[in-house]
């Protein structure tokens, strides 16, 4: 990880951002991190996946689960109901 001062970042932003894009190495500031856009988007995607897994684990712990037959039955009921209205 590369560490740069805010002053250096201010005066050499273009150079630092070019190096960041080429090396994919995060630039650490005392109160912030600079990441390449693709790396940031990948991190956000991973966070969404992890949040979904955490929600699923919470649902299991709280007993908010279904058997395999329950959603199929509910779906079939909704489809039949929708067909009758058509």
Q: Which of 11, 14, 20, 40 is nearest to 3 (CA)?
A: 20
3-7, 33-37, 69-73: least confident range: 3-7
The larger pLDDT score, comparing residue 3 to residue 66, is at 66
Separation of CA 13 from chain center: 27
> What local confidence, expressed as pLDDT, does residue 9 receive?
74
- pLDDT of 4 reads 67
Beta strand residue intervals within the chain, DSSP E: 2-3, 27-29, 32-34
Give the three-class secondary structure for 27. Answer: strand
Q: What is the mean pLDDT of residues 63-84?
A: 88
CA atoms of 20 and 52, how far apart (whole Å): 30
pLDDT tens for each residue of 23-65: 877 766 556 677 888 888 999 999 999 999 999 999 999 999 9
Instruction: Kindly list the domain boundaries of the chain, sorted by start residue.
Output: 2-85
């Amino acid at each position: 990880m590369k560490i740069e001062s805010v002053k250096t970042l201010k005066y050499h932003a273009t150079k630092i951002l070019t190096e960041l894009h080429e090396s994919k190495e995060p630039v650490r500031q005392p109160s912030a991190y600079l990441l390449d856009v693709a790396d940031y988007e990948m991190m956000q995607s991973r966070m969404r996946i992890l949040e979904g897994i955490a929600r699923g684990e919470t649902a299991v712990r709280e007993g908010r689960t279904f058997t395999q037959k329950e959603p199929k039955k509910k779906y079939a009921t909704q489809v039949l109901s929708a067909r009758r209205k058509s």
